[in-house]
């Protein structure tokens, strides 16, 4: 399934009664498998999770890793980009070249990369250097 269609479908299931801001995310792994997720809010606001986190959790639960591209979809005038925490989560399984596709429910509206959104990411090599 195409990333756009997967994100649009899963976004319908978002649980966003507090923000009323539904987000869908769909990623493609380096071997071509697609996983999707939606935001899941909670009455205890900080316990809510982002759509990207859901897609990444589904990927890991399926025993996979390695994000080649990820599409994030919301219905907003300004195209949304992954939040700071999600950029770091994507970095765990991506590279600076990982493609980030921004979309509204109607169309793809932009493209960027993880490296552009999260320059100087904290990566495992930093832990090695400290050992
Ligand atoms: N949200 C996401 O799911 N992904 C993002 O990249 C940005 C924000 C969600 C979190 C919250 O449920 C709602 O959007 C409003 O912030």
End-to-end CA distance of the chain: 43
Q: Which atom of ligand 1 is nearest to the CA of 23?
A: 3
- The residue behind tokens 């429910």 is 105
Beta pairing class for 67-74 and 99-103: parallel
The answer to whether the predicted template modeling score (pTM) of the entire model surpasses 0.85 is: yes
52 in active site: yes
Counts for the chain of helices (H) and strands (E), in that order: 5, 5
C-alpha 129 – ligand 1 centre gap (Å): 33
Q: What pLDDT score does 131 carry?
A: 65
Mean pLDDT per segment of 10 residues, for the chain of length 131 residues?
Answer: 93 98 98 98 98 98 97 96 98 97 97 97 85 65
Q: Is the beta carbon of 72 within 6 A of some atom in ligand 1? A: yes
Q: In this structure, what token pair is assigned to residue 23?
A: 């987000």
Q: For each of the domains in the chain, give its residue range(s) and CATH number, in order of start.
A: 2-130 (3.40.140.10)
């Amino acid at each position: 399934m195409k990333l756009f269609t997967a994100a649009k479908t899963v976004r319908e299931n978002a649980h966003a009664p507090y923000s009323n801001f539904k987000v869908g995310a769909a990623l493609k792994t380096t071997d071509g498998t697609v996983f999707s997720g939606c935001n899941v809010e909670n009455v205890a606001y900080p316990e809510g999770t982002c759509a990207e986190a859901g897609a990444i959790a589904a990927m890991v639960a399926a025993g996979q890793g390695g994000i080649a591209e990820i599409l994030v979809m919301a219905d907003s005038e300004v195209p949304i980009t992954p939040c700071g925490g999600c950029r770091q989560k994507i970095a765990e399984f991506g590279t600076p070249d990982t493609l980030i596709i921004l979309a509204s429910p109607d169309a793809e509206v932009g493209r960027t990369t993880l490296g552009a959104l999260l320059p100087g990411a904290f990566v495992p090599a930093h832990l090695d250097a400290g050992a």
